[in-house]
Chains A and B, each alone.
Chain A
Amino acid sequence: MPHQCTSCGRTFPDGSKEMLSGCPDCGGNKFQFKPAGATADADSGGAADSGNEAPGSAAGPSGSAADQSDRTPPTPAEGSAPVANDESEPTPDERAADRRPADSADPTPSDAAASPDSATDGTEQIADRSDEDTAQASARSEVVSPDELDRASRDVDPAETPPAEEEPQPGIDALRDELNDQFESIRIVSPGQYELNLMELYDRQEYIISLQEDGRYVIEMPDAWGIGEE
């Protein structure tokens, strides 16, 4: 689950389409890249599956303020994908399915002439999503017990992300390799040295807005999701 929403902590597997239209849980549009190696079971066989169900979200308090009081505080940025490994969580598949409409809004180059229709669509989706957020958030708070949350966070704590150091260390190198495998648009050769795969960058829908030397990215999705401000 290499990507994590910076506002609610929900995690997403690399290449996840869901995050392309903003975080389904809180609507956030900033994600940081979390190398899988940073968490305990990430390289176990089930990693992909566990990433998929992002009930990381279940542990990560939702961005919507309403239900935050009875949960663990948001995992700070450096915190590691809260619960992505807990397979017992409610599967988000239904949730994912609910969000599908977002996919239909994927801008493609062929949309060249942005039509008024499509603009309207985008706006509606934003509205839809916030409705769902509330619903989803409360649904989650009913299923996830504090115990589970607790257990979940303990699972990952020991695997805290390695410190960002300039001296290459085995850990950092491994992390970097992992990052490079998963996110092939930018290869971090060493701090301050990058190789870019232009085609891959071009194909990606999201912006990469921030690179960090410890193998993380902060990624921003297309602007439209910030439109609520207006």
Chain B
Amino acid sequence: MGLLTNLRDSISRVTDGLFAADEPKRIGIYGPPNAGKTTLANRIARDWTGDAVGPESHIPHETRRARRKENVEIERNGRTVTIDIVDTPGVTTKVDYKEFLDHDMEKDDAVRRSREATEGVAEAMHWLREDVDGVIYVLDSTTDPFTQVNTMLIGIIESQDLPALILANKTDLPGSDVQQIANAFPQHETIPLSALEGDNMDEVYTKIAEYFG
């Protein structure tokens, strides 16, 4: 964790036992745009806190600022694991406003969204550098996982020795190919799920508790 970046937070939390060993781990939900990160974050938050984290959308780059849900208490096998989840903007190497024009957006709005999306990627990368203790990497299992973004992010995560879970999302869709993701990142455990339908969330929670507890 970057101490400077966290200082303000830390101080505001000082009364809850700053630097206590049992401080919740901060888990970043990362992945390319549209993978279902927010859908997953909302599901986790709703299941365990009753609240949502942020808006989901089929239009990429819906999330353009990192959003955090703190003190999510997940119960597994009689044990409670508390984590903070951070839903981050989808990471990409290219942002083009033209992509948004297809979604019935005015040019001005599309250009602005694209600018915000770019800022969002910068923010996500920044959080990855300093502010997360673990990563849930979400991939849309209907798309090719062999991308520059995935390789680079997983590489960074590994170089930082962050515990990471890879989720193969959207298994409810016909084109879903979980095995392809498992093949792409054989050094990590890949868990299939549908964040939208809530399929296989039990296993997801078990793994979260195991990896980040």
Contacts and interface: CB of A to CB of B under 8 A. Distances in A.
A in complex with B: yes
Interface of A: 105, 107, 109, 111-116, 118-119, 122-123, 185-186, 191-199, 201-205, 207-211, 213, 222-227, 230
11 contacts: A111-B1, A118-B3, A119-B7, A119-B11, A122-B3, A192-B107, A193-B114, A202-B129, A205-B129, A223-B8, A230-B12
Given A114-B10, A122-B4, A225-B4, 15 more contacts: A109-B160, A114-B19, A116-B19, A186-B122, A193-B94, A196-B94, A197-B93, A203-B129, A208-B122, A209-B119, A210-B119, A223-B8, A224-B4, A224-B8, A230-B8
B130 A107 contact: yes
A4 B6 CA distance: 25
B198 interface: no
Contacts of B91: 198
B1 A194 contact: no
Contacts of A113: 1
A191 B114 CA distance: 9
Contact of B114 (A109, A115, A192, A225): A192
A226 B93 CA distance: 31
A107 B95 contact: no
B152 A198 contact: yes
Contacts of B114: 192-194
Nearest to B9: A223
A122 B6 CA distance: 11
Interface string B155-171: 01000100000000000
A207 B3 contact: no
Nearest to A166: B111
A208 B119 contact: yes
A230 B13 CA distance: 13
B203 to A, nearest CB: 28
B122 A207 contact: yes
B143 interface: no
A196 B119 contact: no
What DSSP secondary structure best describes chain B's contact surface? helix
A218 B47 CA distance: 38
B121 interface: yes
Interface residues of B, number: 42
A227 B10 CA distance: 11
Given A192-B110, A193-B96, A193-B97, A201 B121 contact: yes
B103 interface: no
Given A193-B96, A198-B153, A107 B125 contact: no
A227 B11 contact: yes
B7 A196 contact: no
Contacts of A209: 119
A32 to B, nearest CB: 14
B3 A114 contact: yes
Nearest to B101: A192
B3 A201 contact: no
B123 interface: yes
Interface string B106-118: 0100110011001
Nearest to B5: A222
Contact of A111 (B3, B119, B128): B3
